[in-house]
Structure 1
Amino acid sequence: MDSPAPPHRLSAALRWSFIALMLALTVACVFLGMWQLQRLAEKEALIAAVAERLHLPPVPLPPQAQWTGLDLDLLNFAPVSLTGTFRHDQAVTVFTSLVDARGPASGPGYWVVTPFVLAGGGTVFVNRGFVPENLQEAALNDPGGPQGRVTITGLLRPAEHAGWFVPEADTSNRIEWVRDPARLANLVDPALAPFAPFYVDQAAGPGATLPQGGETVVEFPNNHFGYALTWFGFAIIAPVMLGFWLWRQRRTKV
């Protein structure tokens, strides 16, 4: 039978394992800090690009034939113009809570999202704007808005995707929780298909018109610099802790 390893060899193995672990942790923290700095540069470039894009003149909406291959990240917040007809009888309301509003209405309420049948084919969901919570039924029963063929402008937006805790649509009251064309399509006449994989936030109307358009929230969470500092902090702490531990080990031996 093999005899057990001497205690001093086992202790040495544990010491070297701990040292290797702390050094690997330091390297990993440095890598993550550098990665966050890279993400910071990418996010700042995106913010600058969108800020410039918002002030460009509207361009015609890509036709239906191009919808499948569109890079929606490159078109996010792009001003577009589109010609067609609103289907006000098929409007859907999407719950929201509007803060920092540009118009007079704010707080809990709904986006009024209406199918817009394009003159060239296909349907785009257009977010006509915000209405307060107590006007949800009125927005559906008497939506108003332009009739017949019109040309409108707005900002192209990718679909909002529902998280795990987002409930299913309230079909009886025509209420949704996200502006996702795939989900919105389930609440309208299927004959309006095909539906664009994006939606359009309509520009603001005159005065205090409801729905209150022009309320697109242009916001990008940018905490990458703070995350980078955190990881670099861990990269400093790990070798300091390792050095202190080695110093204690030497004192214990003495």
Structure 2
Amino acid sequence: MTATTPSRRLLGPAIATLLAFILLCGLGVWQLQRLAWKEGLLAQIHERIAAPPVPLPDEAQWPGLTPNEYAYRHVTLTGTFDYAQEALVFRPFHDETGYLVLTPLTLASGAQIIVNRGFVREDLRDPAKRSAGQIPGEVTLSGLMREPESRNPFTPADDPAKGLWYTRDSIAIAQHFGLQRAAPFSIDADATPVPGGWPKGGTTVIDIPNNHLSYAFTWFGLAAALLGVFAVFAWRRPKA
């Protein structure tokens, strides 16, 4: 029976350690790549927000637009609000409980866009308490193009019958209102004051997590720890 040398006994663990080390380092590099992508995305968003408003894309262009192309684009548009149809999206803002007021705006072409006119406090939920902000006739406003908000498993069910929503899903809201030519996006109105002061525009919050650097450190740290564990394991192995 042939005895196995210590170096041969370490071969299997060494190969396994090497493969795991390569995998962990690869995950760390991938997170660094994701970090560069996320920083580029955030820079693009802030650049679009800060840019002067441009005319809203024509209705004919809407079907071909993707969120990557239009999200947070600063635009200007003119139309007439239908204040009889209003969706309240529950959304705390600046530590106050309240709602985002989403109202259909009809363009001169007949196309419709859901506009987030801004935030109102809980005590101003009734439109009659803020009627001064319902500007009659044609209005021109500027704001940011937004994609429909997605729902997560913890989001409460909407209650369209009461005009209460928990997601800023402009497509679902447009369908509930029976809009036939609704845009596949919505507009967050800028913080331009309105008569009476409510709703308050400028409610856009950039809440995109960027934890890739910490994830990268975690993977690289695990890779380094793995090498340390293997070194201790190899050092403590019997030499004969």
- TM bucket (normalised to shorter chain) is 0.7 to 0.9
Query: How big is the shift at 1:121?
Result: 3.4
Q: Of the candidates 145, 150, 167, which is equivalent to residue 156 of structure 2?
A: 167
**Structure 1 unaligned spans of 5+:** 1-5, 100-105
Q: Of the candidates 5, 14, 30, which is equivalent to residue 35 of structure 1?
A: 30
Query: How big is the shift at 1:64?
Result: 1.8
Structural RMSD (CA): 2.7
1:88 alignment partner, SS class: coil
Change (3 A) 1:140 1:120: farther
Query: How big is the shift at 1:20?
Result: 3.2
Equivalent residue pairs, number:
238
TM-score by length of 1: 0.83
2:20 alignment partner, SS class: helix
Change (3 A) 1:28 1:140: farther
Query: How big is the shift at 1:155?
Result: 0.9
- Letter of the structure 1 residue corresponding to residue 190 of structure 2: A
Query: How big is the shift at 1:133?
Result: 1.5
Task: Give 1:133's aligned residue.
Answer: 122
Deviation per residue, 1:183-236 (Å, 9 max, x gap): 212431x1x222212111101232771101112113432111111111111111
2:42 alignment partner, SS class: helix
Deviation per residue, 1:37-77 (Å, 9 max, x gap): 11111122222222222222111111222112113223222
In 2: Cα distance, 1:42 partner to 1:140 partner: 45
In 2: Cα distance, 1:172 partner to 1:143 partner: 25
Matched, 1:112 2:93: no
Deviation per residue, 1:139-183 (Å, 9 max, x gap): 699484222222211111111101122232112321011111222
Percent identical among aligned pairs is: 39
Query: How big is the shift at 1:248?
Result: 2.3
Q: 5 Å matches for 1:230-249? A: 230-249=218-237
Query: How big is the shift at 1:13?
Result: 10
- Letter of the structure 2 residue corresponding to residue 131 of structure 1: V
For the Cα contact (< 8 Å) 1:174–1:187, is it kept in 2?
Answer: no
